[in-house]
Amino acid sequence: MLSRTLYTTLLYATSPLIFSLLLKTKKGKPPVGDRWKEFVGIAPELKQSQQPIWIHAVSVGEVIAATPIINALQQHYPEQPLLITTTTSTGAERVAALTGNIEHRYFPADYPCAVKQFINRMQPALCLIMETELWPNMLTICEDKNIPTIVVNARLSTKSQEKYQRFQSLFSAPLQKITHILCQDEDDQRRFSSLGLNQAQLSVTGTVKFDIQFSDAIINNGLALRQQLGLQRPVIIASSTHKGEDEIVLAAFEHVKTQHPDAVLILVPRHPERFDDVAALCLKSFPHTQRRSQTKLADDLSHCDIYLGDSMGEMPILLAASDICFMGGSLIGDKVGGHNLLEPAALAKACITGPSYFNFADVTAQLLDCEGVAVVNDAQELANKINTLISEPEMAVTMGKQAKQVVEKNKGALEKIMHTLTHYIDQTINQRNDQTTKQNGTK
């Protein structure tokens, strides 16, 4: 039985290990540098004195998912400052690209003293947690300080459910302190309910990731890249691949090249620290490998076999330039559980995944139902499917259209999410104004 007291003691005891992991400089990732103090709650004060809406998004994926909500909040509350926290430096880099009344800080480690110090400095009005990043001390302290906590776009896999159940003595009380959880689907709601949450705390909004919008700039940049690669060439993208998966994809692509020698593969490793290693791996089999970081707009890529996507935040552009998308994290057993197919689906790309997609089971199931995605088990099956889709382009177009229909059918989560958020935000702002009025009246 792991109580919160024992959990906190273990946190303090393992501090050297925790901070070595948080502060470790990894190849391809920006360093934390002097901002390491923010992990212990010593964060610079905000530029504005008004209490911010605090949005916690762990890393790049969560920041991307939060962006439509951030944009909607800025439209509804243009004067309201937003504080966005991340755990990773790549997430911080993504936040830096956002515009508006936004400031970034690193999320403090879950030490009570660090969380209290952070909250005392930032003075958030309420906290929005993206997806499922639930820390016992943080949730407890937020309730103690009357800060509503709302989990947005919440998902809970069966594996995560089992983890929380194993440590129920630790999480039971903190979970009860969450103000509201906006679940992606009914399965997520059921899993959260099994952890003892009150039904009044739970609602289903769908996932905001269906509310995808691509700017004209992204589409145009994708078309420009496609022109560089060659308009008549089949372009396959392997998106968010993991260690051990690149070899599988490259082996499949060698088979593809025997039937379609003009095909080109856009390979996008999931983690930037692997860019150099994957580039070296590609060059062993495909000497005509080009890295995006070393490409200029005027470069002729018509003889390129592999185009390595070694940049951050440009996945939509690379997807827009392709015909067929294989989604990584799905061909290396149950280590990862796949990645989100919604971006390629929204761009009407024919989608392929491996058998391990449990982290996105609901989305993938919908795509399977309408034949908008194909499941393959190994390099040979991946090569065969790609070859079929290249040889029968009308099949690829149909798959892409059917995948896009799934996205269109499920849009509307953002509106449901904002309906709930505005209720809590307005309630919090009104309470704060009432308190200010009372304080002024007693002076």
The catalytic residues are 62
Q: Count Cα neighbours of 10 within 13 Å in the Cβ-side half-sphere.
A: 8
Cα 30 to its chain centre, rounded Å, is 18
Q: Which position has the token pair 């993208």?
A: 237
Burial class (CB in 10 A: 0-12, 13-18, 19+), 442: exposed
The sheet carrying 235-241 orders its strands as 289-291, 306-308, 264-269, 235-241, 324-327, 350-353, 373-375
CB 40 within 8 A of CB 19: no
- Per the rule left: phi > 0, alpha: psi between -120 and 50, beta: everything else, 196 is left
Closest CA to 228 of 292, 311, 285: 292
The sheet carrying 82-86 orders its strands as 102-106, 82-86, 53-56, 126-130, 149-154, 180-183, 202-204
Q: Residue 235: what are its φ and ψ, rounded to 5°?
A: -120, 120
Alpha helices, DSSP H, located in 356-412: 361-369, 379-391, 393-410
Strand partners, 355: none
132-137-142-144 Cα dihedral, nearest 10 degrees: 150
Q: Which position has the token pair 């937003």?
A: 82
